[in-house]
Amino acid sequence: MSTVIVTGGAGFIGGNFVHYYLWAHPEDRVVCVDKLTYAGNLSTLAPVMDNPNFRFCKLDICDRDGIFKLFEEEKPDIVINFAAESHVDRSIENPQIFLETNIIGTSVMMDACRNFGNVRYHQVSTDEVYGDLPLDRPDMFFTEETPIHTSSPYSSSKAGADLLVQAYYRTYGLPITISRCSNNYGPYHFPEKLIPLMIANCLNDKPLPVYGEGLNVRDWLYVEDHCKAIDLIVHKGRIGEVYNVGGHNEMKNIDIVKLIIKELGKSEDLITYVTDRKGHDLRYAIDPTKIHNELGWLPETKFADGIKKTIKWYLENRIWWEEIISGEYQNYYDKMYSNR
Ligand code: NAD
Ligand code: TDX
């Protein structure tokens, strides 16, 4: 039996991971550490709150004393760090908190790992650390050898964290791995991000704000496939290695928006082209050869099925996202989108 600390487990991917991990490893104990920022939602964890192998701990990963105390109590075998400020647009408005949580928080978690017996550490990173690819070069992909070349304060903070993780491996011999995944979608996705925002606005017959001309390309992966990849890397990955995770599912933003409109039976008149994101990355595309060859990982959910499942989840769980969009989030939305 292992004790696994999962940070950021009240967020989108961390929450899905907690559900998946408790199901896949019923013998293990999961301790979720989450500060419950605007993006953390305890209702995401409601289905596992009564599980005797689960503990929730409201804690900031930058709180060194609190984190060290928790390690002393729990004596974890594995730490998986999902906790982050994750939204590119927010990082453009206010970079500071991104540096604090994404870089300082990562260093605190790794210091705790070093201090309590060189605990196995996994860093959940992103393909955004590689910057972007040209739209007219469909032959180009991000491999693990692609140089780090970031565009936004968010991706820079994630890249800074990745470099620190690699430094802790080289300098202290901390047993680390890093996964760099493409865009995820699925249940419990916070409605500030493209897919859930478009679903929520469509259902409320509100304008669908497409940045620029909607031609930017993202490589979408169903969140459960990402969770399975992390589980594999944590248990079977080679220490010190980076693994790219993605399913060769590139789509233009405008095509995603039109697909959601069609699935929900709405009109394309809802589409509103708005001012582009500053420094907007053109295209992300992952080459997942390494994780496939070494660990046998392949995505299991096709986009056509995954997007249907996701839309169904948002239809069946209106309370989850309506509570979000009726609260403080409304101020954010007005700030970002009115007069854009
Ligand atoms: P999210 O914003 O939905 O969730 C982040 C969670 O971290 C929230 O529960 C929040 O409360 C918590 N958190 C934030 N600051 C914290 C702090 N200082 N201490 C403790 N908890 C804190 O993010 P997500 O989309 O689930 O992303 C999870 C991870 O995966 C991030 O590291 C992100 O960079 C990475 N990632 C995301 C995607 C994607 O498409 N969403 C793709 C690749 C990688
Ligand atoms: O209202 C919108 N209109 C729009 O056109 C929003 C919110 C987004 N977009 C565009 C911008 C991007 O090209 O859609 C695309 C996807 O945007 P986001 O959902 O904000 O995701 P992205 O910026 O690609 O970053 C995501 O993937 C990588 C996650 O938020 C990151 O945490 C992850 O690292």
Question: Letter for the amino acid at 107?
Answer: S
Catalytic residue status for 322: no
Q: What is the pLDDT of residue 271?
A: 98
Give the integer Cα–Cα distance in Å for 200 and 206.
8
Give the integer Cα–Cα distance in Å for 273 and 257.
12
**Which alpha helices (H) appear in the chain, and where do they start and end?**
12-24, 64-74, 88-93, 96-99, 105-115, 153-172, 194-203, 223-236, 253-263, 289-295, 303-316, 318-325, 329-337
Task: Find the 70 Cα to ligand 1 centroid distance in Å.
Answer: 20
Task: Find the 86 Cα to ligand 1 centroid distance in Å.
Answer: 5
Task: Find the 282 Cα to ligand 1 centroid distance in Å.
Answer: 22
Task: Find the 268 Cα to ligand 1 centroid distance in Å.
Answer: 31
Task: Find the 262 Cα to ligand 2 centroid distance in Å.
Answer: 20
For residue 130 the two structure tokens come to 């590689």
Q: Is the shortest distance between the CB of 261 and ligand 1 below 6 Å?
A: no
Catalytic residue status for 323: no
The upper half-sphere exposure of residue 55, i.e. CA atoms within 13 Å in the direction of its Cβ, equals: 13
Give the integer Cα–Cα distance in Å for 22 and 54.
8
Q: Is the shortest distance between the CB of 277 and ligand 2 below 6 Å?
A: yes
Q: Is the shortest distance between the CB of 216 and ligand 2 below 6 Å?
A: yes
Q: Pick the ligand that lies closest to the CA of residue 223.
A: 1
Strand order in the sheet with 242-245: 54-58, 29-34, 3-7, 78-81, 120-126, 176-181, 242-245
Which residue is closest in CA terms to ligand 1's atom 17?
60
Q: Is the shortest distance between the CB of 45 and ligand 1 below 6 Å?
A: no
Handedness of CA 218, 222, 223, 227 (dihedral sign): negative
Which residue is closest in CA terms to ligand 2's atom 6?
194
- Ordered structural domains, the chain, with CATH: 3-188+221-247+282-300 (3.40.50.720)
Per-residue confidence in pLDDT tens, the chain, 340 aa: 999 999 999 999 999 999 999 999 999 999 999 999 999 999 999 999 999 999 999 999 999 999 999 999 999 999 999 999 999 999 999 999 999 999 999 999 999 999 999 999 999 999 999 999 999 999 999 999 999 999 999 999 999 999 999 999 999 999 999 999 999 999 999 999 999 999 999 999 999 999 999 999 999 999 999 999 999 999 999 999 999 999 999 999 999 999 999 999 999 999 999 999 999 999 999 999 999 999 999 999 999 999 999 999 999 999 999 999 998 888 899 999 988 8
Residue 33's SS3 state is strand
Q: Is the shortest distance between the CB of 37 and ligand 1 below 6 Å?
A: yes
For residue 268 the two structure tokens come to 């394309």
Question: Are 136 and 80 a contacting pair, CB within 8 Å?
Answer: no
Q: Is the shortest distance between the CB of 87 and ligand 2 below 6 Å?
A: yes
Give the integer Cα–Cα distance in Å for 39 and 329.
10
CA 217 to chain centroid = 17
Q: What is the pLDDT of residue 328?
A: 85
Give the integer Cα–Cα distance in Å for 334 and 185.
24
Q: What is the pLDDT of residue 49?
A: 96
